Amino acid sequence: MSQFKFSVGPWNVHTGADSYGPATRSEIDLETKFAKFAELGFSAVQFHDDDAVPGLNNMTEEEIKAHARQVKALLDKYNLKAEFVAPRLWMDPHTQDGGYMSTSQEDREFAMWRSYRSIDIAKELGTDLIVLWLAREGTLCAESKNPTWATRQLIDAINKMLEYDDQIRICIEPKPNEPIDRSICGTMGHVMAVSAATIDPKRVGGNLESAHAILAGLDPANEIGFAMAFGKLFTVHLNDQNSIRYDQDKSFGVENLRAAFNQVKVLVENHYGDKGEYVGLDVKAMRTTSDADSYEHLKNSLEVFRALEEKVARYDYDYANKLIAARKFEQLEMYTMNLIMGLV
């Protein structure tokens, strides 16, 4: 049994299409995904605004809320909660050059409209958390944006969301690149600085995704620990990533088990989950996976997380602290390796 509650998004069960080829698996409807998420042991679902309310651009505010209420009823049916809603500011023609930092005022207004609607949807789904994955908030052409102006645009946009609703919490999911070339807010350090500059810093935190930290050349466990030092790790997206390549969203721990162990260890040591935080997975099945195995990567990630949780529970802190005091780091390293390998 795990001490944590887990969450996952509908996009984590997908058709396998990538930039170079078509779908390799069939579409699965939302209710079927909910049923399977519950069966696998997930407690909550993460949403983009249009995962919850498809086609919201062409709906009135009341129609959007009414549709969100139907999704809430479906969640209730499977005893699932909604964890967060994230405005999808990267698929629409209006977000070609980003949202809050777009060079077009009309597009910036569209980004705010989607953000306000995401807050409305979140409230109907019973969550106070908005995630901002800043997909295109940066530059494709370095000279196209003044980074100082762009950073202030982000702070202003967040302030407007905080003013729109006095309960909502905003959680930035930083990523250093992809699909844009250079992000404006690419790491957890950036997120903490932006948070501090808003009108209500305690309502603005971060979502650390393992793969995004690795893409930035940083250690995911240290990024988690950094945000937790400020009490601002509102959620996590655990997964894995083979070095600095395209964003892979591999199953948790499959590339670097020691780094995965240290992510679980830092979460446990700092009482992640005590304020109701979920352990979110943001993992994708391989393109070669069959329809029948559409959920295997979720099962595998949960299994790896729980196995590492057991390893952390068995971690001999007295022994480790003695080694640390004597600066016997070779022995400390090997103790950790032996624990992970199942040799102690």
Residues that bind ligand XUL (CB under 6 A): 48, 86, 133, 173, 175, 209, 237, 247, 282
Q: Are strands 138-139 and 182-183 parallel, antiparallel or unpaired?
A: antiparallel
Tell me the C-alpha distance between 204 and 171, whole Å: 6
Shortest spacing between CB 199 and ligand XUL, in angstroms: 24
Interaction of residue 255 with Mn ion, rule CB under 5 A: no
Closest CA to 83 of 7, 150, 2: 7
Task: Kindly tell me which of 223 and 335 has the beta carbon lying closer to ligand XUL.
Answer: 223
Interaction of residue 282 with Mn ion, rule CB under 5 A: yes
Task: Kindly tell me which of 282 and 309 has the beta carbon lying closer to ligand XUL.
Answer: 282
Shortest spacing between CB 212 and ligand XUL, in angstroms: 6
Shortest spacing between CB 280 and Mn ion, in angstroms: 8
Closest CA to 86 of 58, 125, 38: 125
Question: ∠ CA 121-122-124 to the nearest 5 degrees?
Answer: 65
Shortest spacing between CB 327 and ligand XUL, in angstroms: 38
**Among Mn ion, ligand XUL, none, residue 175 binds (CB under 5-8 Å by kind):** ligand XUL
Find out whether 44 and 38 touch, Cβ atoms under 8 Å. Answer: no
DSSP string, 262-311: HHHHHHHHTTTTTTS--EEE-----TT--GGGTTHHHHHHHHHHHHHHHH
Tell me the C-alpha distance between 89 and 136, whole Å: 8
Shortest spacing between CB 86 and ligand XUL, in angstroms: 4
**Which range, of 3-11, 163-171, 204-212, 270-278, touches Mn ion by CB under 5 A?**
204-212
Interaction of residue 240 with Mn ion, rule CB under 5 A: no
